[in-house]
Chain A
Amino acid sequence: MTRPDDVNDDQLVERVLATRYRMLLGLYPRRYRAERGDEILGTLLDAARPGQRWPSRRDTASMIIGGLRVRAGSPPASVGAALADALYLAMFAWVSAAAVHIAASFGLALARSRGTDTWTVASFGLPFGLCVATLLAVAWRRYAVALVALAAGMALCWGVDRPVPFWPLSKMAAWGPELSVAVLMTLAALAWLRHRPAVRWPVVLAVVVLVAPYKSLIHYDLLPGDVVILTTWLGTWALAWLPPVIATLLAMVEPRLTLAVAGHSVLVYLTHVWTAVVDLDYFPDIQPTVAAAVGLVAAIGLLAARRQTRI
């Protein structure tokens, strides 16, 4: 770095530090930065030690968490409002997981060159389209439209007279009508509350990215038989232990996201239990572990949400 003649060492060090703090400020949304960026930078520089060149670990951690929190939206007014926001996010988790699985199954059918007839394309395309319509309707807070679209998608999966590998939509419809009803009732509750989410789109995107490919892409339907046992075992253990680890990290930033992940895990767990009861002895040993893990995630989320509502 070339130094201008009229700049002394202290000023140069401050400029270096200010540049590094500005990079951290990039974690905040642009509008917030435009309004508060200079003020926060001034405070950070005021608080810096003489000769300090790097942001302290405390400031770095607080700005990472602070920036992500501002991006996530405004904090909930109460634990109830946090739960309603979490249900709103969970709808994205449930329906996007179904959509991803339908798309993945369709890709598999094409790869096996057994499903290019009109009926197959329609049987994949219609539920997928209805899932996407549901997601868009929820995003635009048209809950009644979403309710109709999702109910139609479920009815389609349930009513089709052939094996439909649409997990979890088909699992919900075929194995657990109660679970389908639970999802539809959640949507109905959001419609009744006319819920206005306080979370912003980055959180919605985060829940979709976290949950949608999870389990669907490693589901045994999509893999050759030899790998089934290994991936099923890994998938189920991941289901048990990955959420608590992720949830703890998420709860530091956005407890509503943690609660949404717990909500999704509850549904996946109930689907497993239902399958075990109705179909075959499906992972009987793993169920208490999964139940404990889901409970832990929910507890972490609730405690963090409660803390978030305090001033």
Chain B
Amino acid sequence: MFGVTGVWRGFPLGCRGACRPGLRIYRVRVYNRYMSMRESSYFILAALMDDRLHGYAIIKRAEELSGGQVRLAAGTLYATLDRLVEQEYVVADGEAVVNGRARRYYSLTEAGSAALREQAMRMAAAAKVVTDRPTGTLRSACVSGESA
């Protein structure tokens, strides 16, 4: 609840950013474990993995990487970027004016890259629960469920 310096760090409920997930309530802990990052944040960070990008390029790249599932509106993009910059997951990395339009470029930081990988591992672990199971087992369970 209090840090080493005695500064209030919020009630011991929930957690965000780089702190370790895991709560006292079991269901919330499970939820946190796999879904601690919003889908929009995940794909924005993923879009910045290869190169620095400006706002519109992030929108396009995120849409492409998500197979068209994540279509970021400008308000959502900048609200998310603000939080990612605040968390030091992303930094502003240069400005330019192209065709009379102002552009600011963003890059992924090491902390951002680590958070992205951590989230990807969580989702991979969650996916493994299903993909590692032989298809036959699932089918037989379904069939027995139907017959019951």
Contact A81 B55, beta carbon cutoff 8 Å: no
Bound-state CA distance A208–B115 (Å) is 39
Bound-state CA distance A65–B75 (Å) is 8
Contact B103 A62, beta carbon cutoff 8 Å: no
Contact B73 A77, beta carbon cutoff 8 Å: no
Q: Which residue of B lies closest to A63 (CB)?
A: B75
- Is A227 on the interface with B (CB-CB < 8 A)? no
- Return A67 CB to nearest CB of chain B, in Å: 7
Tier of interface size on chain A: 35 or more
7 shortest interchain CB distances as A-B pairs: A80-B11, A62-B75, A66-B75, A43-B55, A62-B73, A42-B101, A46-B56
Contact B102 A42, beta carbon cutoff 8 Å: yes
Contact B38 A40, beta carbon cutoff 8 Å: no
- Return A70 CB to nearest CB of chain B, in Å: 8
- Given A69-B79, A311-B41, A311-B87, A43 and B11 touching (CB < 8 A)? no
- Return B27 CB to nearest CB of chain A, in Å: 12
- Is A12 on the interface with B (CB-CB < 8 A)? no
Contact A47 B56, beta carbon cutoff 8 Å: yes
- Is A200 on the interface with B (CB-CB < 8 A)? no
Tier of interface size on chain B: 35 or more
Contact B76 A66, beta carbon cutoff 8 Å: yes
Per-residue CB contact flags for chain A residues 61-105 toward chain B (1 = under 8 Å, else 0) read 111111101100011111111011000000000000000000000
Q: Is the interface of A mostly helix, strand, loop or mixed?
A: helix
Within 8 A of B (CB), among A16-56: 36, 38-47
**Which chain A residues lie closer than 8 Å to B55 at the CB level?**
39-40, 42-43, 46
Q: A63-B74, A65-B75, A66-B76 are in contact. List 6 more A-B contacts (CB 8 A).
A: A61-B75, A62-B74, A66-B78, A193-B8, A311-B17, A311-B115
**Which chain A residues lie closer than 8 Å to B8 at the CB level?**
193-195
**Which chain B residues lie closer than 8 Å to A45 at the CB level?**
101
- Is A141 on the interface with B (CB-CB < 8 A)? no
Residue in contact with A309 in the complex, picked from B14, B59, B86, B89, CB distance below 8 Å: B14
- Return A190 CB to nearest CB of chain B, in Å: 11
- Given A311-B17, A311-B87, A38 and B102 touching (CB < 8 A)? yes
Contact B16 A311, beta carbon cutoff 8 Å: yes
- Return A69 CB to nearest CB of chain B, in Å: 6
- Given A42-B103, A311-B41, A78 and B75 touching (CB < 8 A)? no
Write 12 A-B pairs (CB below 8 A) sorted by A numbering: A39-B104, A40-B74, A59-B74, A66-B76, A70-B79, A78-B14, A84-B10, A193-B8, A194-B8, A310-B38, A311-B41, A311-B83
Contact A43 B74, beta carbon cutoff 8 Å: yes
Within 8 A of A (CB), among B112-147: 115
